[in-house]
Amino acid sequence: DIVMTQSPDSLAVSLGERATINCKSSQSVLYSSNNKNYLGWYQQKPGQPPKLLIYWASTRESGVPDRFSGSGSGTDFTLTISNLQAEDVAVYYCHQYYRIPQTFGQGTKVEIK
């Protein structure tokens, strides 16, 4: 199985500042034939289902604010939330859909400092 490891487990950021979440996969999730990284990022607020923010590692889902951005390739990925807003308090998960079984990171909790 591809193990997805996120860091940190939690972080506290001041309003308007930047939050950076890292995700490392135990194997590459880059498919060389189409040069796509099979990596997504989700936001989950309490009592709600996950919401897709980013897919193909860096493509923002329709309707997602542009303060959310994804980067990285191969085995190392980053979700950046610039200009953190109060409504961004949530747990964030990375997800690889390259290999069976699909796997998720353990989650990173983002709070306001």
Partner 1 sequence: QQQLQELGPGLVKPSETLSLTCTVSGGSISSSSYYWGWIRQPPGKGLEWIGSIYYSGSTYDNPSLKSRVTISVDTSKNQFSLNLTSVTAADTAVYYCARHSVSGTWYSAFDTWGQGAMVTVSS
Q: Which of residues 32-51 bind partner 1 (CB under 8 A)?
A: 34, 36, 38, 40, 42, 48-51
SS3 for 75-107, per residue? Answer: CEEEEEECCCCHHHCEEEEEEECCCCCCEECCC
Question: Does residue 78 bind partner 1 (CB under 8 A)?
Answer: no
* Radius of gyration of the chain, Cα coordinates, nearest whole angstrom: 13
Q: Residue 40 CB, nearest distance to partner 1 (Å)?
A: 3
Residues touching partner 1: how many (CB under 8 A)? 25
CB within 8 Å of 25: residues ≥ 6 apart = 2, 3, 4, 5, 39, 75, 76, 77, 96
Question: Does residue 77 bind partner 1 (CB under 8 A)?
Answer: no
Question: Does residue 16 bind partner 1 (CB under 8 A)?
Answer: no
Question: Does residue 82 bind partner 1 (CB under 8 A)?
Answer: no
Nearest to 39 by CA among 13, 26, 49, 66: 26
**Which one among 55, 68, 77, 92 touches partner 1, defined by CB under 8 A?**
55
Residues that bind partner 1 (CB under 8 A): 1, 34, 36, 38, 40, 42, 48-52, 55-56, 61, 93, 95, 97, 100-107
